[in-house]
Chain A
C-alpha cells in the first residue's frame, strides 16, 4: 500500500459499463479526481462501442457469456493468468473467500471471473453500485487496496428484496461506504455498519448548464407540470397520474409532460387513458440535456412523486431552474427539497394529498413563490455543485 505523502493515489472504479456521454455523474467524478492529481482506472463488466475514447484507462472483463466455447477458453485464459501473472493475489483471494466459508467451486469461480480486477496496483478499489461488489468482497484486500462501495438507492433498497442476503459478506468487511443522503446513511447503519464508515456525498449538477435568466411565473391559463424520470414503477408515476385526475375533476387546467423512457410506458399510457388524462399528458421519451433544460424552462411545477429514490438529480435540476418543486418523502427526497423552503415534500402513495399540494402551490402569490424560487436556486448552486462534490470525493479517498 502506498500511503506516503505526495504519492499519486490510484483509484480503481468498478462499473458495469463505461459511462455514456449522458451519464454525467461518473464522468464528472473521474474528471474531478484526475484534476486533483489522482489516477483513475475503470473496470467494467461489458464492453460498449464508445469505450476507446474514454477519459481514463479501462480494463474490460472477458465476455464469458457469449457462447460455451468462449466461456471455456476465457476461463482457461483467466486461470492461466491468475496462476502465472499474479499468483500471490490469486492465492490470497482464494484463501479469503475460503475463510468466508465459500465452497471450493464458488472460490474457484470467483477467482476466474474476477481475474481482471487483480491486474492493477491500486490504492482504492471503489464499486460504483452495491450489487457490483457481490462475490467480490475480498478482492480489495487480496490486491492490498482499500475498499469503497457506493450505494445509490435501488441497490440498497430494492436489490436485497430480489437477492436475499446479497450483502451478507460485504457488510462484514472493512469498507468505506458512500451514500447519497443522510436517510440512506441511517438505513445502512441498520445493517450494523458503523457511522464512521459511511460518508454522505449528495449528487451534484452542472449549475452552469441548469440556470436561467427567465423570471419564472406560473402560466395563467394552462399550468405546465413536468417530471424527468425513467418510466419505472419506483418513480410513482401512476400515483402522480391519479393525483392529476383529481386536479382535473376540480377544474384545474394543466398539461403534464413526462420526459424519459422505460419499460412501464404501456402501463402509464393506459393509466392516463383510463383516468381521462390522455389529452393532458405527453410522453416525450428520453431527451438530450439541452432539450430537458428547454422543457424545464417552459414549465411551472416539477413533480417527483417517487416510491423509492436515493436522492434524484432531476429534482436538483428543476430547483436550479427555478421551478416550484413538489416531491414525495421517499428516502433522500426530503433532503433534496427542504419542505416549505425550496419546494414541498408530501407523503408518498397518497394521490389526494399530492393533488391538494399542487392546487395550493398554484394558488400561492407571486412573492411567496419568488421566495421559494430564490432560496432553491441559491441552495442548489451552493450545496450541489460539481466542485463541491469533487472536493468531497478527494477528501473521501484521502482521509
Chain B
C-alpha cells in the first residue's frame, strides 16, 4: 500500500459525535490525507490535511453540488459514473439523494472508506467495485441489539460483513458479537477509544456527609436508569444518606414518574444536558459515577470519570468488563440486578479514604495505559495501513 493514504471518515453528519470528531482530530496529525463526506450541519474548521466534501440541506446548494460532481464525473470518469449509476438505479429509492451522497466519494475516490455506523454499510458496499477498501466501526446499538430486533438488518449484516476489509471494534465484546454476523475475526482490530487525559484530577475522596452519586447520558432505555432508580429505592430503605443526579435525564416522563412513584424526589435530581465543562465539574464533585446500562460499547463517560478519579460502578454490559475489574479499579455488577447495584453503592459509601484513593488511582492508571488518544490514533492508522 502507498505511504500517503487518502482516508475517508464517514458518519453521515458533519460535525459528528464527540468521539468521531476526536478521531478525526487525531488522524489529522498523521501524514495521510483525511476526507470527510456527508451532510454539513454546521461549519467546522479542521486542520489543513482534512478536506470536507459535504452538502448543506438547502435545495440550491444540493443542486449545485450534484451538478458539479455529475459534470466532473461525466467529463473525466464517465465509465465509472455509468457503472455507479447502474448500481444505484437498481437499489435506490431516492436516486437523486443517493447520487448527491455518492458522486463526491466516487470522484475523490479515497483509498480507505471508514464507515462509522454499521446500519449504513449497504449504502456504501458499491465502493468495493471501484477498489476502495472498506473499514467498518462496530459500535454499540448497531451491533448489540438493533439486529436482534430487526431481522432484515441482521440479514444485511450477514450478506455484507464478509466483504468488509477491516473492522474497528470498540471492545472485545462487540468484536465477538459481530462475528455472529459473519465478520472475519482476523479482520477485526480492537481499538479502544481514547481520551485526552490532563492532570486535572482530584486528590482524594470528597468528604461529603451525603454520598453523591451521578450518572451522565441521554434518557434512552439502554442506559438503564430505571434500574438505578429502583436501586435508589433500596438505598433509601437501608437508610443511606445520598443524592443521585442524572445529567441528561430531565424531561423524561418514565423517570419522572418513577421518582414520584418511589417517593425519591428529595434524593434524585434530573438535569438537562450540560456543557462538558459543567459535566466534568459535577463528576468531580461526586463520590460515585454509576453506569446502570443494559447495553454499551465502552461508555466514554466511565473513561472520563476514571480520568477524573471519581469512583465508578458499572454494569457488566458490552465491553465494560474490559475496563473495570471489580474491586481493583472500580466496581462492576451484572446487568439488570438492582439489588447488587445497591449493595455495591453501600460498599462504596463505606470505603476509607485510602481505599477509595487506591481504587481511583488504579482507574487513572488503566485509562492512561489503555485509553489515551495517541494510542487510539496509532492503532487506527495501523488498521488502515494493514488492509
Q: Which residues of A contact B (CB under 8 A)?
A: 157-158, 161-162, 233-234, 238, 242, 264-267, 269-271, 273-275, 307-308, 348-349
User: Most chain-B CB neighbours within 10 Å: which of A158, A266, A271?
Assistant: A266
B221 within 8 A of A: yes
Residues of A within 8 A of B257 (CB): 157-158, 161, 234, 307-308
B149 lies within 8 A of A270 (CB): yes
Residues of A within 8 A of B222 (CB): 267, 270
- Closest residue to A233 on the B side, CB-wise? B254
Residues of A within 8 A of B254 (CB): 233-234
- Closest residue to A232 on the B side, CB-wise? B254
B251 within 8 A of A: yes
| 28 A/B residue pairs, CB under 8 Å, sorted by A | A157-B257, A158-B253, A158-B257, A161-B253, A161-B256, A161-B260, A162-B253, A162-B256, A234-B254, A234-B257, A238-B226, A242-B336, A265-B149, A266-B146, A266-B149, A269-B149, A270-B149, A270-B222, A270-B294, A270-B295, A271-B336, A273-B145, A273-B148, A274-B335, A274-B336, A307-B258, A308-B257, A349-B262
- Of B148, B260, B295, the residue contacting A269 (CB under 8 A) is B148
- Of B148, B226, B251, B261, the residue contacting A270 (CB under 8 A) is B148
- Which B207-261 residues have C-beta < 8 A from chain A? 221-222, 226, 230, 233, 251, 253-254, 256-258, 260-261
Q: How near does chain B come to A361, taking the closest CB pair, in angstroms?
A: 24
Expressed in whole angstroms, the Cα–Cα distance for A265 and B150 within the complex equals 10
- Closest residue to B233 on the A side, CB-wise? A349
Expressed in whole angstroms, the Cα–Cα distance for A233 and B260 within the complex equals 15
Expressed in whole angstroms, the Cα–Cα distance for A269 and B148 within the complex equals 8
Chain B, interface size category, equals 20 to 34
9 A-B pairs with the lowest CB-CB distances in the bound complex, closest first: A270-B145, A266-B149, A161-B256, A267-B221, A233-B254, A269-B149, A161-B253, A273-B148, A162-B253
Q: How near does chain A come to B98, taking the closest CB pair, in angstroms?
A: 27
Expressed in whole angstroms, the Cα–Cα distance for A274 and B146 within the complex equals 13
Q: How near does chain A come to B193, taking the closest CB pair, in angstroms?
A: 23
Residues of A within 8 A of B261 (CB): 307, 348-349
A275 lies within 8 A of B145 (CB): no
Q: How near does chain B come to A338, taking the closest CB pair, in angstroms?
A: 23
- Which B333-363 residues have C-beta < 8 A from chain A? 335-336
Expressed in whole angstroms, the Cα–Cα distance for A242 and B224 within the complex equals 14
Expressed in whole angstroms, the Cα–Cα distance for A264 and B221 within the complex equals 9
- Closest residue to B229 on the A side, CB-wise? A349
Expressed in whole angstroms, the Cα–Cα distance for A266 and B153 within the complex equals 13
- Of B149, B262, B294, the residue contacting A274 (CB under 8 A) is B294
Q: How near does chain A come to B335, taking the closest CB pair, in angstroms?
A: 7
- Closest residue to A349 on the B side, CB-wise? B230
Residues of B within 8 A of A264 (CB): 221
User: Most chain-B CB neighbours within 10 Å: which of A158, A269, A274, A348?
Assistant: A274
Residues of B within 8 A of A271 (CB): 294, 336
User: Most chain-B CB neighbours within 10 Å: which of A265, A269, A270?
Assistant: A270
Q: How near does chain A come to B337, taking the closest CB pair, in angstroms?
A: 10
Residues of B within 8 A of A157 (CB): 257
Expressed in whole angstroms, the Cα–Cα distance for A273 and B253 within the complex equals 26
Residues of A within 8 A of B149 (CB): 265-266, 269-270
